Every structure is written in C-alpha cells, then in structure tokens.
Amino acid sequence: MNNEFEYIYETFRALLDAFTPTEAIKRLELMGVDQAVIQEIRDRHERQTIRIKEFEEPHSVVLGNRDTWYTGPSPKDKCWPAIVHQLEKADWSPSATDSLDTASTRIVSLLSHPKEKKFSTQGLVVGYVQSGKTTNFTAVMAKAADRGYKLFIVLAGIHNGLRRQTQARLVQQLVEPNPTLWHQLTDLDRDFVPTANAASFFGKSNKAHVLCVIKKNSTVLRKFSKWLASASDYLQDCPALIIDDEADQATVATKTINPKIREILERLPKSAYVGYTASPFANLLIDPSAGDLYPKDFIVNLPKPEGHFGTEVLFGRYALDGEDPEDIDDGYDMIREVPDSDVELVRPLRRVDVDGFTPEITATLRDAIRYFWMVTSARRVRGAGNPHSTMLIHTSVNTAVHNSFRGPLKNLQEETRASLDDSTVLQELRKLWDDETARVSAEDFGEVKVEFDDLLPELPGVLDDCRIVMDNSSSEDRLDYENGPVMAIAVGGNTLSRGLTLEGLSVSYFVRAVSAYDTLLQMGRWFGYRNGYADLPRIWMTAELNEWFRHLATVETEMRRDIDIYMTEDHTPLTFAVRLRTHPALRVTQAAKMKDAVTAASAYGGRRVQTRYFHTDADWLLDNQAAAKQLVAKAVQHATRCDERPEDGRFIFRDVPYDLVIGFLKRYSFHEKSQECDAGLLIRYIEKRVRNAGSLRRWNVAIVGNPLGDAAGAFEFAPGVAVQRIVRARLDTPESGFADIKTLMSRRDAAVDLTGETGQLTEKEIETERQKQLPDTGLLVLYPIDKVSTPPQREKQRRKPLDADEHVIGVGLVFPRPDGEDSTIEWISADLSGVDIEIEEVDLSPIDAEETE
C-alpha cells in the first residue's frame, strides 16, 4: 500500500509541473483515485508547502551561488532589534550598524535551519584583533535566537578575565533587554556548575533560550558534557549554536580540550559550531578528513571596521601579486625602535636569570613611559573619547619578571612627579612631546594638536592618578574598567595577550620573544579603535619585531583575499584551501597544530616574482653583477631581435633560449629570505613547463633603468648596452649587511615586452594581453640599482639609503599562465583534501592545563 501511495503521490507531483494543486487533484479524481488517498495527498502537500516556507523564506544568493534560508531580520524579531537600540544609544553610526547587520546576516545564512531534523554545521569567522568580534557573534546569536535556536554555548577563551568580560557583554546585550526570553547557566562570578534536572531546560514547555558562557577548560567542559548527556532525550529538538571565541587557542590539537568540545557537539543532534578568531592559522590547517573541527562548511571574513587600527595601518605591508606597489603604504610613523642592547636590560635572556632579575629603566623605556603620561594629559585637555588610558609593558611571559617592574616604575613615577619644577626635566619632556607630535600630524586624523604648555597643567594629576598594575595569573591586581575611568601602566603577559581589551591603550612597550604568527598577532593589544586620540598611539619594539609585524600584515591580506574567494566563486573550504605565506624566522603556528602539513602544489603561472632582499657586501654583489653581464652578453648573441630604447632606459632581447635563463638562475644568488625566489624551485618549474607543455622555451630578457645621462650614473651590462642606475632605498631594518627594498618591479615593467599602449592597463589586463601576445614566453627583467640610493622625501616613508658596497642587480620574472596545464612547484602546505595551502613551522607550549586562570 505504501509503495502504491508513493507512486500516486509522485504522479501528483508530476502533474504540478503543468497544473495548479487544485487542478492536479481533479486529474487524480478523474483517474479514479480513492478519496481517502486524495485527502492524504492533500494533507502531505500542505505540510510540505508549510515546511518549505518555514525553511527557505525567499531564496537569496549569498557567498556565490549559495541558496540560504535566512535573508535578514524580520519585523517579529525581538533580540536583534534590542541590540540595534543599544547601538543607537551608544552613538553607533547608521553605516556601522548596517555593516554589522550585513555581516551577521551573512553568517546566520550559512547556518542550518533550526527546524531541520538533524544537522552539524562547522564554520569559521575571521576578524581583526580588537575589532569587535564579540559584537558580531552577539548579533549572530540574537538573529539565531529570533529564528528558533534554543541552546547557546560560548567558549570564551582560557582565562577567567575574558570569560567574565564576555558574560557581561552578552547579559547586557541579549539578556537584560529580553529577560523572559533567556535562562543563564553561568554568571559573572561563576563558570558552569551542573544543576539538577538538566532536561527541564530543554523540554517543549520551556520556551526560554539557554545561555552558557564557559572557559575552554577540560574540567569545566567535562562537567558540561556530562550534564548535557543527562538530558539527551530532550536534545533531539534543541538546535544549538556553539560560538568558539579565540578558536585557534586550545581548540586545535590539544589532548583534553579538543576532544571535550567534539564530545559536546556529538551530544547535540542539531548543532552549529562557529569559531571566531583574528589568527586562524591553526584552524585552516586542521585535516578535514579527521572528523575534527575543520571549518568544512564556511569561512567568512568580517569587514574591516571604519577607524580600526590594524596590522597594515601601523606597520605597512608588502605588495601582493596583482597590486601596484606604489599603491601600498608603509604605515603610520608610530613605531619606535628599541635597540637590541636594551632587551637584556628589561628581560632576562635565560631562564636561570629570572630569580633576582631587576629591570633597568632604559632610555627607550623612559621615553615610552613619559610619553604615555603626556598622552594622557593631552587627552584630558581634549576631553573626548575613551575615558580610560592604559600603557602596556610586555617583555616576558614570566610572572616574576612582571612583578620585578613594580619598584623601578614606582621610582620613576615619584621622581618625575617631584621634578616637574626642574627646568631640565621640563625641557626633556617638551622636546619628546614636540618631536613625537611633529612626526604624526594630528590634523591627518581630524584632531587638533595639543601644545606642551596646554598639557603641562594636567601632568601632576596624571602622575598622581597613575596606577602600576601587575596583571598576570599569579597577581590579585587586575585591570577593571567597569568601576570608573582607569589610568594605569599594565605589566603583564598571557592574561593580556588574548581577547581581553585594554581600554584606552595609548602606548605599548613590547620586546617579548615570540616565534609563531598567531601568538605574535594576538599579542598586538595595540590594535583596535583610538577615537579621540588616533594621532597619539606609539609602540616601542625592536626592529626585528617591526619587520615581523609588517610580514604578518602581508600574510593577513593575502589570507583574506583567499577567503573572499568563497564569496565570489563556487568554492567551499573542502574544495579550496586558504594559502598562508611563510617567513624564514617565524612558524605559522604551534608544531602540534601543523602535524598534518604536507607538501602541496602552488603554481607560478600568471605570477610575478621579484627580488626584495639583498646582501650588501661587495663579493656577493659583484658575483651577481657578473651573472647579469654574462646573461646579457649571451642574449646579445642568441636573441632573434633586440629592441633598444635608450631614451626610456630600456633594452629588450627577444626569444632568448631558456637554457640561458636557467644558467643565470644557477649563478645568480638570491637572498635566503626570498622564499618566492628559490632558484631550485624556479628552475624545476621552468624545466617542467618546457618538458610537459613545450612553453617557456623562449624568454624575453629586459633591462630596466633610467634614460642614460652622465657616465658616472651608468651601468654597462655589455658593450653598447648601458642604462642609468635606478634608486631603490631600503626599509629601516636593524640587520647589518642586509637590505629590504620592499618592492622592485612596477606594473609597467611587467608589460615592458608587450606591444601597444600598456601604460594604463591593470594587472589583470596585462596578464590577459600577455596571454594573447606571448602565451609561451617568459620575461626576465634586470634592474641596475645604485649602491647609495638616497630615498626621496615622501610623507610617511621610513626609508634609508641603500648603502651597499657595490651596485645591486635586482631581478624580476613574469610567467605566462599555462593553458590547460597544471604546472606547479612545491611548497610546504597542510593537507586540506589535496588543495594547496602554503606554510612553515614553529613552537608553542600546548594548552592542556586543568585550570587556567
């Protein structure tokens, strides 16, 4: 009978392609179908119609060809409108609220519909450090609650401070506006404690949403999992949303915490797990076939909020492939260098030196602290913006080292307070203030400069009010921003390096030794919003750390570009993997979190590769000059044609055999930091293209310089082949014998061998034109760089003369995109279902502690 009914029902469904439901029913009656069967068909069709309406709402294409059930807030919603009301009271601009609405709607649209019978969704949301991720996931929770999600579990990091801060925010924004809609399992002072009769929270008679904010702590997670198990019969119809804040911390590759999170998810037949982090490197490297917490369903970028100080804003970054280097900024001039010789004075370099260590108030630390007191005074003069003012000193993870700062800092505070009538001290303070405010213009940020004479009357009160806070796991002192304005110098370590917001952070002194991307990025507590004092923040750090953060800014931008592919192309995290650029001195994440890393493929096709780093000693440079001159001499002999454009400082030798290029790559020395310019990989790639596709057999070798002028500025590659040297100043780095010029090759240079007008073409258009004109021909460009290369005086350019011992030869290579050929080279990657991710390695101690305060 069931088979017969199903057959009739399928007939009815087929009739719906041509008739209305009423007309289709009439057709069944004419066919002699029994009325009882027809009534059952009517009932099923009605149920199915209601289900479709409930599930899907209007279809909307979100994140590239993906249909979604959720298209935005509804007039009947209660939780989301309450958040909007609070944001309006907090003077959020309409555009900022709209941005939050759009971003949170996108994320909810990727969750499963709460009325589905069973589901297990796993996703990842990537924000920026100190950028409002909590506000975003609160908005996501509100919208999910409005549509029927019942249980909300927030895994709020590993420290009590962050758990309390998160609990307070969620109570304020979710619970207090709608107290009858929520039941809390945790509160400000108490992590999860099992209650009797867990089932009572999830029965159909209890309509309230259940909120639980817990630390990622194995003991707490074990108790919570056991408590859920006692209510298992009532969880079948309990759609749950799990928010994992700081999802790369403790969640990935830990022996106790990770299994407990997965166990909790297994107890929930209807679960959506969403990780939030600004440093998702570990999450992106999880093996997706291992049944772990890899974000298999979606990865979403949060938009960069207006007014947010991020890595790139402060440190600048390098140009990515497809960008015009001239469009990339070097960042604001807010970073101050701590000499390497100072480090051992503020941090013991060996563990055995911790006991009895007393830090010295070095000249740079004194400048940083004095500047902080003056910044706070200036902010009091302005009388606007965040009422709190904080300075961070982070030199070590060791709590004994933190505590050792109290005495020297108090002494400096007392000495400064007592010497405010000393003309010598006042002159030192005035010079420091004037120097700093001259380097960063207040007007550029819409502010008015505060003169030293105007801030001076505020300085005594600032010195009197300033607290010295040792905020670490062994201290009772804490930064508490809930009970009035805070003005403090905070010395700390891990308790201040994750999630917790340092309100009104103006000055940071950071020399902590770090070896991994995620750890380093999360320690950047200076990222965030600086309303009312955006011109005043400063960071004191070593030049090496400065360069590392600049590299991280490049990694972040490149990573987010890949993540955006999910929104624009028909890809999921299971079909396309996010690539991570590597660094010779930094690992991407903890070694245990990269245990599934494998060798993967990354194509050079369609890319530009260029030298950026150089040694500056004579022998190395002269060897490279010889390699370049040898290549040009042979190109003169073997090229089919030479385009000479001395008036433009250009020579182009066309159709040079590839073996001459390979010979050059074998002789020319690339700097060891130039990971893209690995001669062995480049040679293997060229040989593979030649062998498999017959392309890259011929190359155009170009020389790019300036128009030939006086003989003193000329560089001769071969008789009759000479151009004027170009200028490439170096970034201000601490290493002797080393130069980082940031960018060598311009967009115009990448089209130097193309015919026609190419000056206005975009990168993509140049690539397309190359495929038309020279689909199988590579381009190698030689640049003679003047050994002095004094930089031009440009705004916010922190450059120094190159000062090499001999003239430098820069090299750029442009590869045509292979046609139908997967020509690849090998890089280090994680195993993401065979899709490539680029990466390297590091060390971090695993987080598996039973109780982490």
The first and second tokens of residue 534, run together, are: 């955006």
CB hemisphere CA count around 500 (13 angstroms): 24
Task: Return the biggest CA–CA distance within the chain.
Answer: 109
**How sure is the predictor about 210, in pLDDT bands with cuts at 50, 70 and 90?**
very high
pTM: 0.68
280-330 pLDDT per residue, tens: 989 888 888 888 999 999 999 998 888 888 899 899 998 765 566 677 878
Beta strands in 105-150 (DSSP E): 119-126
Residue environment code for 777-806, b if the CB has 16+ CB neighbours within 10 A, otherwise e: bbbbbbbbbbbebebeeeeeebbeebebeb
CB hemisphere CA count around 813 (13 angstroms): 24
Which range is least confidently modeled, 64-73, 712-721, 816-825?
Answer: 816-825
Q: Tell me what pLDDT residue 174 has.
A: 97
CA 30, distance to chain mean position in Å, is 65
Residue 824 pLDDT exceeds 60:
no
236-246 pLDDT per residue, tens: 999 999 999 99
DSSP 5-30: HHHHHHHHHHHTTTS-HHHHHHHHHH
Could you tell me which residue, 66 or 614, shows the higher pLDDT? Answer: 614
**How sure is the predictor about 493, in pLDDT bands with cuts at 50, 70 and 90?**
low
Burial of 629 (0-12, 13-18, 19+ CB in 10 A): middle
Residue 268 pLDDT exceeds 80:
yes
Identify whether the C-beta of residue 586 lies closer than 8 Å to the C-beta of residue 520.
Answer: yes
DSSP 477-492: ----TTSS--EEEEEE
Residue 787 pLDDT exceeds 60:
yes
Nearest to 774 by CA among 754, 759, 758: 754
The first and second tokens of residue 667, run together, are: 């002789």
CA distance 89 to 236: 39
Identify the helix (H) or strand (E) that includes residue 657: strand 650-657
pLDDT (mean) for 766-770:
86
The first and second tokens of residue 761, run together, are: 């073409």
577-611 pLDDT per residue, tens: 777 777 767 887 787 786 665 444 444 677 788 89
Nearest to 331 by CA among 810, 732, 791: 732
- 472 Cβ partners below 8 Å, 6+ apart? 399, 402, 403, 492, 493, 494, 495
Q: Tell me what pLDDT residue 349 has.
A: 82
Q: Terminus-to-terminus CA distance in the chain, angstroms?
A: 64
186-199 pLDDT per residue, tens: 999 899 999 888 99
CA distance 12 to 826: 57
Identify the helix (H) or strand (E) that includes residue 309: strand 308-309
Residue 25 pLDDT exceeds 60:
yes
Q: Tell me what pLDDT residue 794 has.
A: 58
**How sure is the predictor about 213, in pLDDT bands with cuts at 50, 70 and 90?**
very high
391-431 pLDDT per residue, tens: 999 988 888 888 899 999 999 999 999 999 999 999 999 99
Q: Tell me what pLDDT residue 845 has.
A: 21
**How sure is the predictor about 823, in pLDDT bands with cuts at 50, 70 and 90?**
very low
Nearest to 503 by CA among 122, 130, 12, 177: 130
